[in-house]
Structure 1
Amino acid sequence: MSNPLLNIPLLPPFNQLQPQQVEPAIAQLIENCKQQLLRGLETPGWETTLVPLEEAQDQLNRAFSPISHLNSVLSGEWRAPYEAALAQVTAYWTEQGQNRELYQVYQQLAASPAFQNWSQPHKKSVELGLRDFELSGVGLQGEAREQFAANSKRLAELSSRFANNVLDTTNAWSWHTSEESELNGLPQTAVAAARSAAQNKDKEGWLITLDGPSYLSVMTHADNRELRKRVHTAFVSRASEVGPNAGEYDNSEVMEAILALRAEQAQLLGMSNYAELSLASKMAPDTPRVLEFLNDLAQRAKPAAEREMAELRVFAEAEYNLNELQPWDIAWVAEKLKQQRYAISQEELRPYFPYAKVVEGLFTVVEKLFAISVQEDRSVATWHKDVQFFWLYREGERIAGFYLDAFAREKKRGGAWMDTVATRRDSANGLQLPIAYLVCNFSPAAGAMPSLLTHYEVTTLFHEFGHGLHHMLTQMDVAAVSGINGVAWDAVEMPSQFLENWCWQPQAIEMISSHFKTGESLPPQLLNKMLEAKNFQSAMFTVRQLEFALFDFRLHASEETMNAEKIQQLLTEVRSEVAVVPVAEENRFQHGFSHIFAGGYAAGYYSYKWAEVLSADAFSLFEEKGIFDRATGEHFLHSVLEQGGSRDALDLFVEFRGREPDIDALLRHSGIEQLELNISPV
């Protein structure tokens, strides 16, 4: 039987893919790339070398994409073949990144007299290629060159192990009860989900897990304080040497090894630390600028966060006789205070946001903004019965597509993300359309109850769709700068955070809300309460994000060897400077910080706040012109979304906004506009 991975179509045939197909296919596709490069180097040039090489590498990328994806959303039998393929692919890309002959082709192209007359996307792809060669160690010699390659391979393995440990320890823990009274306070949707989880394990009663919806529901609503403590302890100690699964999936040595190898990679390239290496491909100019940005924002936000925390303590003591708030009390008490102050909760909003209506409304919003329409195609093969597939159309022409995997389930990685299936590019068979994966972890339907989203989950869906639009609406035809390719990592969150703004606009909320029983849109009184509560504890949320960002950046800017103890010490130090909430003794947040140890955010978590300045300021133009002003939507589409990585992110922002970024909009949206800040990210 032929191997479908060897000639992957635009939409992967998920109903035909088998784990045993992976290794031979990836080996063959890598060999094809190597042979194509040898042929291309015989007559160096754009059309003779780079175009056919891009074609071969696109086949490799589009075969590896479903392998990586299935490991994330199904795990199990896909883990071993994925890790084997990852090792092969990492070795290939490292080898290519150090290929001096190919590097010379790029140099010759950039130095040619005709280069200045090339189109901007073609020029930028060559410039980015030269940068990436240098960051891949193309200039290294002998032992240093071999060490850099070996480190790259080892880092890929360790990142995968880190993610596996987090997933395995999440799946390893659950708590079962036969007494529904133990779940007092939990909303009906959460109780139904717990019963469904128990039934899936052939158990009577109710089962609480560490999956996002289950964990958050307990921490926010469970009146059973001992249950909150039990669940919180299990969650914050995941993949560490403490907690209910102490030492079983411990990421301590994995973190140490990752940090040591990253530091060595930076040193091999002549840099002082990994933060410098990370910033070499980002918008931020240098490490002092990032630290100044984060520290200044923390300095201004912390007093407001301390006031919010003090209010919480006073309320907890007065209303619930809690003299000392514990970490597992914070979300629960905060929800009670929010209900008292604004008479509203996420659970009260949930019936108005059935999943199907939110998705339909999301599509209506983007149609009004960018003149695109979205249509489901149920004939497309997927990896799970709940997964949907959609096509995007503009002026009747099909321009892109995406898979939407919305619901939490066992063996699926937690969180939410967008990833690429196929990149828009000029191919040997004509224009290749961009295809994306959009993944969330919402509560699925339970019995007769449809999937109902919290408003927080609604913003998550909009966020990920913003990433998807950045990938799918590109007009670039060169893979290196198409969609999110080539976009500075600290600007890549801008379109996603930008789209979240519509979740708070009354005109848009009318489109995305409909009570699952009555069909009624969110009533004005609830809408007003929701908007009033928008910035409830926003300063506490800000300093929490800054805690993560400062810890990440200082960790990677450190020039000393970081063992598990020192990592903990640094996090404790950062918390003492910016955090305002108590922390459990068993808290090992770093052991589950997948963004920086298993994702692309190492020395880059600051990107969320950096890009938030851009996204808030970009949205402020819609506030001026009208949130559905078609001309402004088209302007954003053409200036930002269509351009991909063909131009610097700051230049694209200035083209859209007519000036450099201003932080005022972010402060206003966060409810702290009165603070005088001078921390624009440029």
Structure 2
Amino acid sequence: MSQSVWDATSLPVFSAVKVQTIESELDKILAHNQQAIEACVTNNTQPTWESLVLPLDQLHDDLNNFWSPISHLNSVKNSPEIREAYNACLPKLTQFYTELGQNKALYQAYKALAESDQAKHLSVAQTEALTQTIKDFELSGVGLEGAAKQRYAEISQRLSELGSQFGENVLDATQAWSKHITDESELSGLPESALDQAKQMAQAKGLDGWLFTLDLPSYIPVMSYADNAPLREEMYRAYATRASDQGGEAKFDNAGLIDEILALRHEMAEILGFENYAELSVATKMADNGQQVIDFLNDLASRSKPSAEQDLAQLKAFAKAEYEVENLNAWDMSYYSEKLRQHEYSLSQEELRPYFPMNKVLSGLFHVAQTLFGVAIREEQDFDSYHKDVKLFTISKEGEDVARFYLDPYAREAKRGGAWMDSCRTRRRLSDNRLQLPVAYLVCNFTPPIGDKPALLTHDEVTTLFHEFGHGLHHMLTQVDVSSVSGINGVAWDAVELPSQFMENWCYEPEALAHIAGHFETGEPLPADLLDKMLAAKNFQSGMQMVRQLEFSLFDFRLHKEYQAGMSVQAVIDEVRSQVAVTAPPSFNRFQNSFSHIFAGGYAAGYYSYKWAEVLSADAFSKFEEEGIFNTVTGAHFRDTILANGGSRPAAELFADFRGREPSTDALLRHSGIAA
């Protein structure tokens, strides 16, 4: 067996990041890479995998190994210094990759390799990597000339800047708002965990009383439990108007950025010969075309909306009968929904929290992964970190280390909201035949430990952890040695959520919950009555949740598919809501201004991927329902088809290999409690 790379270069050294030298170091790497690429093309009259692809992979990896910790720190430990350095480097990176994608000599070299005799003897992964690389060149405008080529480069540069600015505005607008309360009577209804967290946050700022912010661990408990309706309204308004003209500082308003982003994306698509950006987006996805996506979303909406209408009717009737509330405002929905959940199931998320201490949840998550996929997971104690809460774990299989991952679990200041997995290192075969092993970042924003108590998660947070770990497994359990199709690389974007949503299912299985849940003081398992209530409440308001996600998906896709100069973004989201939603938010709501997934992330004209992949994940899990949720043969089959192959084969092909047929929406609708 060839030696694996597991040395000082296999992990980033965060303490070695010197902010003042980042830009100059990047300049050196880019200059070296440009010279090396030119030499590689010039000297490759008959390109081979070894003479063309491996050297270029090494250059890409060197750049990634430099940039990865910087990009990561910009998200999880943001500061004026790191932000300034990051933004100074972005245009240089964008220019480098734009020029790389339009390098005709390099494109011709790849085509020559694909048409050579050696190509007949390449592996499936190598062949797919070549196919995808050639397609990427073509979608990057390698065929453009003159003014069109120049304009494409300008658009790429500007979109990079705008996406970064959008994300920064959301972060800054979120952090600019807080609510300081000193009168405890204003906080009736709030659970002890929320009060303790708010008190801890106030103390950290040298304040008496309680401090609330728009970070979700602070925001959600207020919206769900606070009896104080004016406080709920104030926080809802602040959250729903972040980075807009309706609230906060004008300098954070993202409206102008949204208009410019959409216009530039549309222009880019037209330059490349597509009718709109949605068609450009779909060109690398499982979906065949934009209309297929629209039809898919509309079909789900028509099948889900009756269920959502029933959910809303039930909520309204309950609020009126029990609380004499005639009209539910947007800031009342979560509050009365939680009251209804407790009325129907005698259950609240807060009751479950003591049974989900972080360490127990982690050990349960690892038990699921170890049982299904035949891996072992151990925590490392000695590693370079950027925060005391960060942990590092190593995954091994059959006694051999195969991957590592960082876990950064808790919300804090200067950390981007949400949860995500990102690639730190990619598995690939080096030119000396050694194997570089994959490393992942797993980032969440859970409620942190309070006082001497451990971090106690809600069941929703448990599900989020399983989701992100599913992404991590996709990246880390790959058996592909070709970097561009290894792990999550090269996977169609509308299939990339398959492993993550798949892992969420174990959070609802009694057999798995026996390992995931245990009281933080006594260790006692989740009581049978609580477990029964939790499972009974699984599909509580699932119709409304379904149409909400479909609203986001249709808004995103239609925005990019139907774009016209001067179009009103607000009009599009209003029209989508009139079609699929069962509640209309207040006119001041500016959800789109903080929709980072599509304006600052990779989900532009691709947010539908969550629902597309949820069909795949629900159908994949139904095989475990048939054969046993801890069936090791089925688990190994999922590992060896879906997880191991990464992007080396088309996602539809891999799914069919695992399931023995094409996917069906029936399992998703059944799991959601919506009649098929």
Deviations 1:191-213 (A, max 9, x none): 01101111111111100100011
- 1:304 pairs, out of 295, 298, 307, with 307
Asked if the contact 1:40–1:50 (Cα under 8 Å) also holds between the matched residues in 2, the reply is: no
Asked if the contact 1:67–1:82 (Cα under 8 Å) also holds between the matched residues in 2, the reply is: yes
Deviations 1:529-556 (A, max 9, x none): 1000000000000000000000000000
Corresponding residue for residue 447 of structure 2: 443
The structural deviation recorded for 1:49 is 2.0
Counterpart residue type for residue 658 of structure 1? G
Alignment of 1:242-281 (within 5 A): 242-243=246-247, 245-281=248-284
The structural deviation recorded for 1:8 is 8.2
Q: 1:525 to 1:171 in 2, by over 3 A?
A: same
Alignment of 1:411-490 (within 5 A): 411-428=414-431, 430-490=434-494
- 1:573 pairs, out of 570, 575, 580, with 575
Deviations 1:495-529 (A, max 9, x none): 00000000000011010101111111111111111
- Partner secondary structure for residue 452 of structure 1: coil
Aligned partners of 1:664, 1:116: CA distance in 2, in Å? 41
The structural deviation recorded for 1:114 is 3.4
Aligned partners of 2:95, 2:472: CA distance in 1, in Å? 29
Aligned partners of 1:181, 1:361: CA distance in 2, in Å? 39
The structural deviation recorded for 1:595 is 0.3
Alignment of 1:397-408 (within 5 A): 397-408=400-411
Aligned partners of 2:87, 2:660: CA distance in 1, in Å? 46
The structural deviation recorded for 1:428 is 4.2
Deviations 1:256-291 (A, max 9, x none): 110011001000001110000000110000011000
RMSD over aligned CA atoms reads: 1.1
Corresponding residue for residue 169 of structure 2: 165
Aligned partners of 1:661, 1:52: CA distance in 2, in Å? 39
The structural deviation recorded for 1:88 is 1.2
Corresponding residue for residue 15 of structure 1: 15
Aligned partners of 1:506, 1:26: CA distance in 2, in Å? 51
Aligned partners of 2:512, 2:500: CA distance in 1, in Å? 16
The structural deviation recorded for 1:116 is 2.8
Asked if the contact 1:377–1:391 (Cα under 8 Å) also holds between the matched residues in 2, the reply is: yes
- 1:70 pairs, out of 70, 73, 94, with 73
Corresponding residue for residue 385 of structure 2: 382
Corresponding residue for residue 659 of structure 1: 661
With 461-470 and 116-125 compared, the bigger mean Cα shift is at 116-125
Asked if the contact 2:442–2:468 (Cα under 8 Å) also holds between the matched residues in 1, the reply is: yes
- The answer to whether 1:176 aligns with 2:180 is yes
Asked if the contact 2:243–2:594 (Cα under 8 Å) also holds between the matched residues in 1, the reply is: yes
Counterpart residue type for residue 190 of structure 1? A
- Partner secondary structure for residue 238 of structure 1: coil
Asked if the contact 2:54–2:431 (Cα under 8 Å) also holds between the matched residues in 1, the reply is: no
TM-score using structure 1 length: 0.96
Counterpart residue type for residue 383 of structure 1? Y
The structural deviation recorded for 1:246 is 4.6
Corresponding residue for residue 43 of structure 2: 43
- Partner secondary structure for residue 327 of structure 2: coil
Corresponding residue for residue 194 of structure 1: 198
Deviations 1:220-240 (A, max 9, x none): 111111110000000000000
The structural deviation recorded for 1:87 is 1.5
Aligned partners of 1:645, 1:310: CA distance in 2, in Å? 44
The structural deviation recorded for 1:581 is 2.0
Corresponding residue for residue 3 of structure 1: none
Deviations 1:587-644 (A, max 9, x none): 1000000000000000000000000010001011111111111100110011110001
Aligned partners of 2:250, 2:315: CA distance in 1, in Å? 35
- 1:522 pairs, out of 511, 523, 526, with 526
Alignment of 1:304-383 (within 5 A): 304-383=307-386
Aligned partners of 2:184, 2:76: CA distance in 1, in Å? 31
Deviations 1:390-435 (A, max 9, x none): 0001111110000000000011000000001100001246211100
Flag structure 1 segments of 5+ consecutive residues without an equivalent: 1-6, 676-682
Aligned-pair identity in percent equals 55
Deviations 1:174-202 (A, max 9, x none): 00011122111111111011011111111
Aligned partners of 2:18, 2:207: CA distance in 1, in Å? 31
In the TM superposition, structure 1's runs of 4+ consecutive aligned residues that sit over 6 Å from their partners are none
- The answer to whether 1:241 aligns with 2:232 is no
TM-score using structure 2 length: 0.97
Aligned partners of 1:370, 1:279: CA distance in 2, in Å? 32
Aligned partners of 2:192, 2:208: CA distance in 1, in Å? 17
Q: 1:8 to 1:86 in 2, by over 3 A?
A: farther
Corresponding residue for residue 599 of structure 2: 597
- The answer to whether 1:102 aligns with 2:106 is yes
Aligned partners of 1:78, 1:97: CA distance in 2, in Å? 28
Deviations 1:300-339 (A, max 9, x none): 1111101110111111111112111000000000000010
Aligned partners of 2:91, 2:498: CA distance in 1, in Å? 32
Asked if the contact 2:405–2:442 (Cα under 8 Å) also holds between the matched residues in 1, the reply is: yes
Aligned partners of 2:211, 2:322: CA distance in 1, in Å? 30
- Partner secondary structure for residue 15 of structure 1: helix
- 1:222 pairs, out of 216, 220, 226, with 226
Aligned partners of 2:54, 2:454: CA distance in 1, in Å? 48
Corresponding residue for residue 395 of structure 1: 398
- 2:61 pairs, out of 58, 62, 66, with 58
The structural deviation recorded for 1:562 is 4.4
Aligned partners of 1:580, 1:116: CA distance in 2, in Å? 56
Asked if the contact 1:259–1:562 (Cα under 8 Å) also holds between the matched residues in 2, the reply is: no
Corresponding residue for residue 635 of structure 1: 637
Corresponding residue for residue 24 of structure 1: 24
- 1:130 pairs, out of 122, 129, 134, with 134
Asked if the contact 1:43–1:49 (Cα under 8 Å) also holds between the matched residues in 2, the reply is: no
Corresponding residue for residue 34 of structure 1: 34
Aligned partners of 2:595, 2:571: CA distance in 1, in Å? 16
Aligned partners of 2:363, 2:106: CA distance in 1, in Å? 47
Corresponding residue for residue 670 of structure 1: 672
Deviations 1:427-470 (A, max 9, x none): 24621110000000001111122210000000000000000000
Asked if the contact 2:307–2:543 (Cα under 8 Å) also holds between the matched residues in 1, the reply is: yes
Asked if the contact 1:415–1:440 (Cα under 8 Å) also holds between the matched residues in 2, the reply is: yes
Counterpart residue type for residue 591 of structure 1? N
Aligned partners of 1:419, 1:475: CA distance in 2, in Å? 18
Asked if the contact 1:8–1:63 (Cα under 8 Å) also holds between the matched residues in 2, the reply is: no
Aligned partners of 1:117, 1:427: CA distance in 2, in Å? 19
Corresponding residue for residue 612 of structure 2: 610
- Partner secondary structure for residue 14 of structure 2: coil
Aligned partners of 1:63, 1:496: CA distance in 2, in Å? 27
Corresponding residue for residue 293 of structure 1: 296
Give aligned pairs, total.
665
- The answer to whether 1:156 aligns with 2:134 is no
Counterpart residue type for residue 30 of structure 1? L
Corresponding residue for residue 3 of structure 2: none
Aligned partners of 2:525, 2:204: CA distance in 1, in Å? 34
Flag structure 2 segments of 5+ consecutive residues without an equivalent: 1-6
Counterpart residue type for residue 86 of structure 1? L
Asked if the contact 1:424–1:477 (Cα under 8 Å) also holds between the matched residues in 2, the reply is: yes
- The answer to whether 1:561 aligns with 2:565 is yes
- Partner secondary structure for residue 518 of structure 2: coil
Asked if the contact 2:173–2:249 (Cα under 8 Å) also holds between the matched residues in 1, the reply is: no
